[in-house]
Amino acid sequence: MPRLVHDRLTLLLYAQLGVWGFFLYGFGPVVPLLRDEQGVSAALASLHGTGLAVGVLIAGFVFSPLSRRIGRGATIWTGLVGVALVIGVLWVARPLPLTVGAAVLASIFGSFIVNGVNAALSDHQGAAAPAALSEANAAAAFTGVVSPLVVGAFVAAGLGWRPALSLVVLLILGVLLLTSLWRVPVPVRSAQAFAVVASDRRLPRPYWITLVLLAATSSIEVCFSLWAVDVLRTHAGMSSGPAAAGFAAVLAGMFVGRLAAGRVALHVPTIRLLLLSLGVTLAGFALFWVGTVPWLAVGGLFVVGLGIAVQYPLVISLALAAAPGQADRAAGLTSYPVALGFGVAPVLLGALADRSGTHEAFLVLPAFIAAAVGLTVWLARSLALPKIGEPHTEIVEQVA
C-alpha cells in the first residue's frame, strides 16, 4: 500500500497551494465590487474571468521552459511573489483594462504555483501522489472557504475588499518564514527528469487521454461555479442573497471530499475512485436539479462538491504518472484543457439557457459526466496495455 509522508517539504507545498486558493476564491466575490466601482455591465465585468482563462493558457506555454531554466522551486516562488505584486496593482488600478490585465497576470503566476506544486508532489510522493494532491487541494479549498468570508467581513466593516485581499501578502511572508525556519530544500526535478527532457521523449497516449478527461471534469466544475446560483433563484425559489450563500455548499463539499480522499486514495485504486466521484456528482446533480425547495437543492450542491472535489487532483495525478520523468512538461500542458473547459462550457450552457432557461440548460451536465466516465474507462484500458518498454507501473497498479 502506498505511504503518504507528511514531511516538511510536503507541508510546505500544501501551504503554497493554500495561499493561491485564498487569492483565487477571494477574487471571485471581488468582481461584482469592481463592477460597481467601474460602473460597467455584467458582460464587461465577466472579462475578469476571461482574463483568468487567458492567464492559464499563457502559463501552460511558459511553465515548463521556465522550470527547466531556473528550477521548480524558484518557479513556484516566482508565482508567489508575482501574486503579491498583482495585489499591489489592484490597489492602484481602477479602469477595467487594468484590472482585467491584473487578472491575467494573477492567473499566470497562480498557474506557476499550481503546476509547480503538482509536479513536486508527484515526484516526491510517488505512488502516494493521488492522496497528496487531494490533501493539497483540500488546503486550497479550505482557504477558499475562508477567503470570501474575510472579504465579506472587511467590506461589511467599511474597510473595503483591497485590505482583505492583501492578507495574501502576509500569508506569503508566513510561508517564507516557515521555509526559512524549517530549512526546506528547494523541490527540484529528479535526475531522471533531466534525462527525459534532454531526450525529448514523446508523451504517451494515456497522457493525452487524461488531458481530454481534464477538460471534461473542468467543464463540470465551472458550470456549477458560474450557473448554480441562478438555478437556486429560478427553480428552488431562493432570493439572491441566500442563493449566493447557498453556493458555499459546493465549496464545503469540496473541502470535506478532498480531505477524506487524502486517506481513501491510499486504499482505493485511482481509476475506481474517479469513477465513484463521477457517480456521486451525478447523484448530487439529480438532487440539485429536481429540488424545488432550498434545503434539497443546496443539499444536492453539497453532494456535487463531494463528487467534484477529487476529480481535479485524481486526473492530475493520472496525467503526471502517465508521463514518467516528465512531470514539469506534463504539468504545464494540463493548463490547456482546464482553460478550454472553463472557457467553452459556460458559454455553451449560457447559450442553451438563453433558449430554454438555466434549469433546462443544466441537463448538459449529465452529458459532461457521461463523457468523463467514457474517457476514464478508455484511460483504464490504455493503462492496462502499456507499450513494450513503457510500463506505466504506478498507475497500472491503481487500475486493478
DSSP structure string for 194-221: HHHHHHTPPPPHHHHHHHHHHHHHHHHH
370 pLDDT tier (thresholds 50, 70, 90): very high
C-alpha cell at 380: 483504464
| Matching fold, domains 1-188 and 203-400 | yes
User: Looking at the predicted structure, is the pLDDT value of residue 79 above 80?
Assistant: yes
194 pLDDT tier (thresholds 50, 70, 90): very low
The CA distance from 215 to 274, in Å, is: 15
The CA distance from 96 to 188, in Å, is: 38
Q: Are 317 and 39 in contact (CB under 8 A)?
A: no
User: Looking at the predicted structure, is the pLDDT value of residue 297 above 80?
Assistant: yes
Grid cell 531522471 — which residue? 192
Beta carbons within 10 angstroms of residue 105's beta carbon: 17
Mean pLDDT of 45-56: 79
Closest by CA position to 280, among listed 258, 259, 309: 309
Grid cell 442563493 — which residue? 243
Question: Can you give the residue ranges of every domain in the chain?
Answer: 1-188, 203-400
What does the radius of gyration of the chain's CA atoms come to, in whole angstroms?
A: 20
42 Cβ neighbours under 8 A, 6+ residues apart:
35
pLDDT in tens, 373-389: 999 999 999 877 544 34
pTM of the model: 0.75
The pLDDT of residue 390 is 43
Q: Are 300 and 280 in contact (CB under 8 A)?
A: no
203-400: in CATH 1.10.287.3510: no
The CA distance from 341 to 137, in Å, is: 19
Fold exhibited by the domain 1-188: Growth Hormone; Chain: A; (1.20.1250)
353 pLDDT tier (thresholds 50, 70, 90): confident
Residue 127: DSSP 8-state: G
C-alpha cell at 377: 474507462
